[in-house]
């Protein structure tokens, strides 16, 4: 079996296992997001490093929920300084700065994303959001986080700060394909995390139709009528979602 085949085989098995083990948490996440929308709340998403890719996965996306606000700062991403962002995500002073710009409140949902679940910013942001009355969903790897200690002053890992845990099932270190020299290659957290989040989005749409509550969804801007549809939603949410316009 080539390593291309091995990666896809491993990923397919992991996705099947995730569907089996995480179906109930994904259903719970969708229902809490539905409740959030009924109350006029916002879904916030946050991740540092590669976790911010998943924070963006359901933002301004074709077929995506409109009331999604990613919490973004360039220093916590990869495109300014990849190595620097690794250090920044361990600095606790980011949390009040982020909450000043993104005023998470009771009735909102925060999806905090960290594969290791150990670094200060995603963990303590989740803790503070929960203290403010938001419902906190942690997207993490329980295999990884159970094998490491925390990197914050409270000694907490992400799953210990959340109301609901979504476990991506990944191995310690994320990379999943072993080689003869002892190295591991082929991360799975992004692929599995994206599938989980998109499945939740689909279920929220289904619930909105079944239960009759308002939940706006974007269309693709690259289909006829998409721009006009999306412009209406952008106008509606531009003042409450930084970066939308």
Tell me, yes or no, whether 209 lies in a domain: yes
Q: How close are the terminal C-alpha atoms of the chain, in Å?
A: 47
pTM: 0.96
Tell me, yes or no, whether 244 lies in a domain: no
Tell me, yes or no, whether 42 lies in a domain: yes
Q: What is the mean pLDDT of the chain?
A: 96
**pLDDT bracket for residue 25 (50, 70, 90):** very high
Report the share of the chain in percent with pLDDT over 90.
93
Q: Residue 169 pLDDT > 90, yes or no?
A: yes
Total count of domains within the chain: 1
**Gap between the Cα atoms of 112 and 88, Å rounded:** 16
- Cross-strand partners of 136: 110
Q: List the CATH number of the domain containing 113.
A: 3.40.50.10490
Q: What is the dihedral of CA 137, 142, 146, 147, to 10 degrees?
A: -130
Tell me, yes or no, whether 100 lies in a domain: yes
Q: Which domain holds residue 174?
A: 3-237
At 192-243, the pLDDT tens digits run 999 999 999 999 999 999 999 989 999 999 999 999 999 999 999 999 999 9
Tell me, yes or no, whether 43 lies in a domain: yes
**Gap between the Cα atoms of 26 and 199, Å rounded:** 8
Tell me, yes or no, whether 17 lies in a domain: yes
Q: Residue 168 pLDDT > 90, yes or no?
A: yes
Tell me, yes or no, whether 245 lies in a domain: no
Question: What pLDDT shows up at residue 76?
Answer: 86
Tell me, yes or no, whether 176 lies in a domain: yes
Question: What pLDDT shows up at residue 214?
Answer: 87
Task: State how far the alpha carbon of 138 is from the alpha carbons of 6, 93, 157, 166, 220, in Å.
Answer: 29, 21, 10, 6, 28
**pLDDT bracket for residue 186 (50, 70, 90):** very high
**DSSP structural state of residue 121:** H
């Amino acid at each position: 079996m080539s390593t291309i085949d091995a990666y896809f085989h491993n990923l397919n098995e992991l996705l099947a296992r995730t569907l089996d083990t995480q179906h109930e948490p994904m259903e719970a996440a969708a229902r809490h997001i539905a409740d959030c929308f009924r109350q006029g709340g916002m879904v916030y998403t946050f991740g540092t490093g590669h976790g911010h890719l998943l924070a963006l996965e359901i933002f301004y996306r074709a077929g995506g929920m409109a009331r999604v606000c990613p919490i973004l700062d360039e220093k916590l991403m990869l495109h300014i300084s990849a190595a620097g962002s690794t250090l920044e995500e361990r600095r606790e002073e980011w949390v009040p700065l982020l909450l000043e710009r993104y005023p998470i409140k009771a009735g909102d949902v925060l999806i905090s994303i960290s594969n290791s679940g150990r670094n200060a910013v995603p963990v303590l942001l989740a803790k503070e959001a929960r203290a403010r009355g938001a419902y906190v969903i942690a997207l993490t790897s329980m295999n990884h986080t159970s094998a490491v200690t925390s990197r914050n002053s409270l000694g907490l890992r992400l799953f210990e700060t959340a109301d609901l845990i979504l476990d991506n099932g990944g191995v310690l270190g994320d990379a999943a394909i072993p080689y003869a020299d002892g190295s591991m290659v082929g991360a799975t957290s992004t692929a599995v995390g994206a599938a989980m989040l998109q499945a939740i989005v689909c279920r929220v749409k289904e619930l909105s139709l079944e239960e009759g509550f308002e939940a706006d969804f974007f269309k693709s801007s690259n289909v006829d009528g998409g721009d006009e549809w999306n412009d209406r939603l952008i106008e509606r949410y531009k003042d409450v979602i930084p970066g939308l316009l």
